[in-house]
Structure 1
Amino acid sequence: MSGLALRADRVSLGHGSRLVVRDLSFEVRPGEVFAVLGASGCGKSTLLRSIAGLLRVQDGTLFADDKPIFAPSPDRALMFQDDALLPWRSVRRNVELPLAIRALSRTDRRARAEQWLDRVGLADQADRLPAQLSGGMRQRVQLARTLAGEPRAVLMDEPFGALDAQTRGAMQRLLADVLSSTAATVVFVTHDVDEALFVADRVAVLTPAGIRTLVEVPEPRDPATRGTPLVREARDELLAALFERNAA
């Protein structure tokens, strides 16, 4: 299954009468990882929730495969910083949850859940409860649960933001490995420029006036390129855009 093409056409986003973003236009190519950077309160999370169909745009239109987004869809899965695992369900049954909602048989749910738990390195933790896991392990469960439903677009809202540096690096590498085997489109919100440059094909800096800067990432998801001149140049461009926004 191919990834979704996502598009914003002169979109304004906000809460009630307060707008946080005006006149936002961009396109996300099917199967690409599109990272969004920006200052706190600039509308990053609001944008993700709107693409997920949980919030209505104030003006303009969001599209998935050229169809306007008006409501949630199994094609678009949202992954939060807070893992939101159900504490009374085992790790396996948490991963099975979106499959149960879609009425897959118990056998198929179990097989797919165990497949994804193996992919994220937690096959031996399937019968544990979330409270028995570390923060990084819980995020791996959430990643497995998100991808087990085979969404065509994954919307990630600072999914590693609450993790320590070592665990965060491990999750970035795991995500890069997992994404190599899925065609899903990913919109990845983060505050971390280096994280964005590692996981994404393109990185956008979001401001209340729309996207200020859009950078193509040279050789994304390759740890060996993190310090190369082309990556440093991209990093400098993104930092300049962020600093300009914060100083405004």
Structure 2
Amino acid sequence: GPIPDTLGKLTKLRFLRLNNNTLSGSIPLLLTNITALQVLDLSNNHLSGPVPDTGSFSLFTPISFANNLNLCGQVTGKPCPGSPPFSPPPPFVPPTPVSPPEENSPTAAIAGGVAAGAALLFAAPAVGFAYWRRRKPQEFFFDVPAEEDPEVHFGQLKRFSLRELQVATDTFSNKNILGRGGFGKVYKGRLADGTLVAVKRLKEDRTPGGELQFQTEVEMISMAVHRNLLRLRGFCMTPTERLLVYPYMANGSV
């Protein structure tokens, strides 16, 4: 029998499979009103007449109508009786090949030089950055000199900037670690004047009153005198870092 026209009222229908049902007659134009239709299979029937090419039917390919010998229309490749023949597709015209410049010509030499220079320009920073990343540990430091209190002084102790100690320890490189413990890590460093120092980098402490406690500890350490104790040389204090600087003693401990 024919395809019922009433199927066209199911505008929310997404899948319509009527294949292998020996259906006959034409395809109802009302089916093009099913705007939500995503899958259509009318193959292997006895349908005839033109295949609609409007609405949702404009999206379907010949496979949806295969093996219906009496169907016609653009999608089937067979003109319907009384309609003009299909216009043949335009002939394929291959693009005109562009002859590359001769290798020995000045243009080729200039183009090659520009390309090589551009590649080197972009590759060199990338290679350098990758090499630096492999050599440097992934540690981040935040020095805020403007927030340091310039009034904090402890006698003869020097107040170092975080940048000074970063440079001295090669940005706190793991290769310069002398020891570690519950307090933090100790790094070997070399100041700008060549003096070797041991930099004790304390673990971050964000407890209330931490800055005041650190100042008190620095003051107490600076006053301590003992033949087995190293005299504190200086310190560094920022909102995120607490560091103590001692003279470097080979095979010693701080």
Same fold (TM over 0.5): no
Larger relative CO (CA 8 A, sep 6+): 1 or 2?
1
Category of TM-score, reference length = shorter chain: under 0.3
Higher Rg of the two aligned structures: 2
Give the structure with the larger helix fraction.
1
TM-score normalised per structure 1 = 0.19
Bigger proportion of residues as strand: 1
What TM-score results when the alignment is normalised by the length of structure 2?
Answer: 0.19
